[in-house]
Chain A
Amino acid sequence: MDVELQINNGATAATRFVSWAPSPCRIRVTNPSGATSPTVNVTIAGVSSASGGVVVFRAGATGAFANSLTLPVPTNGTTVPFFVAGRFGRPSVNNGDVKIEARVGATLVGSVPLMVRIRKNANALTAGERDRFVSAFAQLNNQGLGRFADFRNMHTNVSSPQAHGVPGFLPWHRAYLLDLERELQAIDPSVALPYWRFDQAAPRIFNRDFLGVSNSLGTVQFNATNPLQFWKTDGVQGINRRPFFPTTSAPPGVRTEPQTLALGTQYAAFQTMEGNPHGSAHTSFGGSISSIGTAAKDPLFFLLNCNVDRLWAKWQR
């Protein structure tokens, strides 16, 4: 007997990504040989590598998640729905580092690899995660000739009245980041946009293997193995970023996460975070990131706003 597991209701590799939120899935019998009844009880469970993601299951849209789930599946090929989610705190590191196995009794009847793909703290990425992200970003930009140019052109002084200083600030940037993330995932599906927690020291972001180290002039320098050495926007080579705080040992002096979340329960109060910490994080540097019209020239801009989006998501909960 064989079963097919459809993640996000799809049977292709492109659908095999889950996050903390429940993903709708299906299971069906594709080869009923050996079946003796109209339905068969199939138990599904996650199998993870040592540092791999962990998944949990439930049968319906509500209810508690469990490490395994037994479903009566018709042998005539009709699909049975279930839900899968990443177990909070146990995301994947690599694509396919967790798999769902389906068993009838002790017999393995189906298996599918997947990834618990979530946005992570950029300062805590593994070298592999960091390199995949940087590589995808460099390819998306393709020295200013790639799809990234659209994103760079979207965030300018012209579009700014829609995106800044108005209630739409947070949703505008959320949609913008999500679009960018999807483009990165079209290049490498294992990549998610990481965030820069600007209220914590982030020495592993500001190094030559990741987003670079600024010299005294503010010109960002990279290792020879870092594809961001080929970064180019608006026809101009490189990234200008001059920090006004010690990037390897301390964060800039911006509102902390608890202070930001305590701004108020009304959206009108919370959205004042656009000034501090958001604006203050931008202006904790000189260089392109400190002005609206040029901020998107620096990849750090997307990590900064990813943290803003994370704070909003946390506040929404």
Chain B
Amino acid sequence: MAPTRKAAKRSKQARKKSPKKSAKKSSSKRSVKAESPKVAARRAASTATDSKGTVKARVAAAALSPLAVCESDKDLQAMLKTLRNQDEPVKVRLAALQAMQAASFSVVAFESSRGDYIATLRAIADDPDPELRQRVLGILAREKDGYAQKKLIEGLKDPKKALVPPEKALQLLSYDVHADAYSAARDIVKKPPDEMARREALRLLAADATAAPMFEKLLRDKKELREVRQIAASALQALKPEKMQQHAREILLDKSDYDDIKATSLTALTQFGDQEAIGKDKALLKSVDRLSAGKASAKYRQSASRFLGKYSQ
């Protein structure tokens, strides 16, 4: 009986807030349709922040509440309180965070709330829940927030202080790369805690001009993981495009290299190649012709055909 009484009480409260709607008992669908988006959003925000509601209902309501968060300081503060409160279910807090983030897209309306929002995010950046922590640090990192960047660098230097795994910290630091981040990434490439961290460190170093020789070496190392070689190819194409074109050519002429790396090389040449030079390169064209007619997968053969279509005139 208790839940029924609670539900009835909530329904009564809702009717008090919106007396005009209470008359339409016969069709809840019709009553929702008649409600303006703002009224519906405020009702949703009220449900989302009501700790007596079910998790499912609160999560669903949070998704409909961004407009209320923009329009009403009371709803905003209630949502921030829910987000900060460690006693609230994590699912509800994550939904509140998502609603706040969606509301932040309404820049003008949200502007006066931005300070409180960012302050709340900083306050929960070290929350016990890892998923919430990661999402919060992600938002702050994309805002190039100095506090978050400092925490991420600290965590890379001293794993005991780490709020997220090193690979995530590197990924988030890539939104605003500083010298400190390069230094931490170099250290991780030298002594990686795991393969994922190494890959993210390499991705971050792809913007570091001094890293080009390392990427050349990785690209040509047949014992390397395919994904690492792919990162190296992309990095090299950006840092030293002429070197990448040269290596791509050599990889395509090398009968012992792998088809997927040949496909990456082919894609680099098709997209960014020197039309005149490649058009005259008979050895390369012949090699790609072999790939297009060989035993490679249909995708790679198709890729080879595209290359030939562009360069083999």
Contacts and interface: CB of A to CB of B under 8 A. Distances in A.
Interface of A: 131, 135, 138-139, 142-145, 157, 160-161, 163-166, 209, 215, 217-219, 221, 223-227, 229-232, 234-238, 240, 244, 253-254, 262-264, 269, 272, 274-276, 278-280, 282-284, 286-288, 290-294
B36 A238 contact: no
Contacts of A229: 230, 233-234, 264, 267
A138 to B, nearest CB: 6
Contact of A275 (B102, B139, B230): B102
Nearest to B97: A283
B145 to A, nearest CB: 11
Contacts of A292: 104-105, 107
Which of the four size classes fits the interface of chain B? 35 or more
A-B pairs, top 9 by smallest CB distance, nearest first, are A279-B102, A165-B106, A224-B263, A275-B66, A165-B108, A279-B105, A237-B206, A291-B142, A272-B37
Given A275-B105, A275-B106, A217 B66 contact: no
A230 B203 CA distance: 11
A217 B234 contact: no
Contact of A138 (B64, B177, B231, B271): B271
Interface in B79-112: 98, 101-111
A236 B177 CA distance: 8
A139 B237 CA distance: 13
Nearest to A270: B37
Contacts of B238: 143-145, 230, 232, 237
7 contacts: A157-B107, A225-B303, A236-B174, A253-B63, A275-B66, A283-B101, A291-B139
B309 to A, nearest CB: 12
Interface of B: 33, 36-38, 41, 60, 63-64, 66-67, 70, 98, 101-111, 134-135, 138-139, 142-144, 167-168, 171, 174-175, 177, 196, 199-200, 203-204, 206-207, 226-227, 230-231, 233-235, 237-238, 260-261, 263-264, 266-268, 270-272, 299-300, 302-303, 306
A183 B168 CA distance: 34
A213 to B, nearest CB: 12
Given A224-B267, A230-B237, A237-B234, A217 B167 contact: yes
